[in-house]
C-alpha cells in the first residue's frame, strides 16, 4: 500500500501561511542555542575539511548553483533581499565596525616606501606593503583562538 501524502502545493501553502507566526519561537530557540552552535560547529571542523576536500565537491557545488539558477537569484533579490537590505545594514553596523577596525589600524600602521615618478615599477612596493600587512593581519585574525 502506498503512503498517502499531500501535494507539494498543499504543503507549501500551509508552510507559507503558518510559519510566519512562529517568529517568537524561532527567536527564543535560536538565541538559546548560541553556545551549542559554537561547540557543535567547532566539533565539526574535521567534517568540514573532509567535505570541502571530497572528490565530488566541485560537481556538488556547480550542481547546486545550476539547480537554483539565475532566475531564482533574481527573484529572491526582488522578493526578499531588497526589502531587508536597509534593516540588514543597520543591524550589521556593530559587526562591520568590529571587522573593519583591525584592518584600518593595520593600514594606518604601515610605513610606505617613498613615492617614485608616475609609472615607476618601484611604486608597486607601496601597494605590496599594504597588501602584505593586510594579508598577514587577516591570517592572524582567522587563526585567533585556534
Q: Where are the domains of the chain?
A: 92-114+121-146
Residue 143 binned pLDDT confidence (cut-offs 50, 70, 90): confident
Q: Please check whether residue 128 is in contact with residue 122, taking contact to mean a CB–CB distance below 8 angstroms.
A: no
- Please check the confidence at residue 45 and state whether its pLDDT lies above 60: yes
3-state secondary structure (DSSP) of residue 15: helix
- In this prediction the pTM is 0.69
CA–CA separation, 133 vs 139, rounded Å? Answer: 10
Residue 144, pLDDT > 70, answer no
Q: Is the pLDDT of residue 132 over 50?
A: yes
Reply yes or no on whether the pLDDT at 145 is more than 80: no
The stretch 122-134 carries a mean pLDDT of 96
pLDDT classification of 38: cutoffs 50, 70, 90: very high
Mean pLDDT over residues 107-136, rounded? 96
**Contacts of residue 122, Cβ cutoff 8 Å, sequence gap at least 6:** 113, 116
Predicted local distance difference test score (pLDDT) of residue 146:
46
In whole angstroms, give the CA distance from residue 93 to residue 97: 6
Q: How large is the average pLDDT for residues 80-102?
A: 94
Q: What is the mean pLDDT of residues 66-95?
A: 94
98 vs 104: CA distance, rounded Å: 11
Cell of 41: 560547529
Whether the pLDDT of residue 10 is over 80: the answer is yes
Compute the mean pLDDT over every residue in the chain, rounded to the nearest whole number.
Answer: 93
Amino acid at each position: 500500500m502506498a503512503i498517502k501524502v499531500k501535494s507539494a502545493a498543499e504543503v507549501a501553502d500551509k508552510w507559507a501561511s503558518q510559519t510566519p507566526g512562529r517568529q517568537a519561537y524561532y527567536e527564543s530557540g535560536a538565541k538559546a542555542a548560541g553556545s551549542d552552535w559554537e561547540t557543535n560547529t567547532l566539533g565539526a571542523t574535521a567534517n568540514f575539511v573532509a567535505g570541502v576536500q571530497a572528490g565530488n565537491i566541485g560537481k556538488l557545488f556547480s550542481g547546486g548553483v545550476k539547480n537554483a539558477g539565475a532566475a531564482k537569484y533574481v527573484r529572491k533579490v526582488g522578493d526578499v533581499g531588497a526589502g531587508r537590505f536597509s534593516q540588514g545594514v543597520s543591524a550589521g553596523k556593530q559587526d562591520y565596525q568590529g571587522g573593519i577596525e583591525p584592518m584600518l589600524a593595520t593600514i594606518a600602521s604601515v610605513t610606505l616606501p617613498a613615492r617614485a615618478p608616475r609609472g615607476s615599477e618601484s611604486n608597486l612596493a607601496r601597494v605590496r606593503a599594504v597588501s602584505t600587512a593586510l594579508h598577514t593581519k587577516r591570517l592572524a585574525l582567522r587563526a585567533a583562538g585556534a
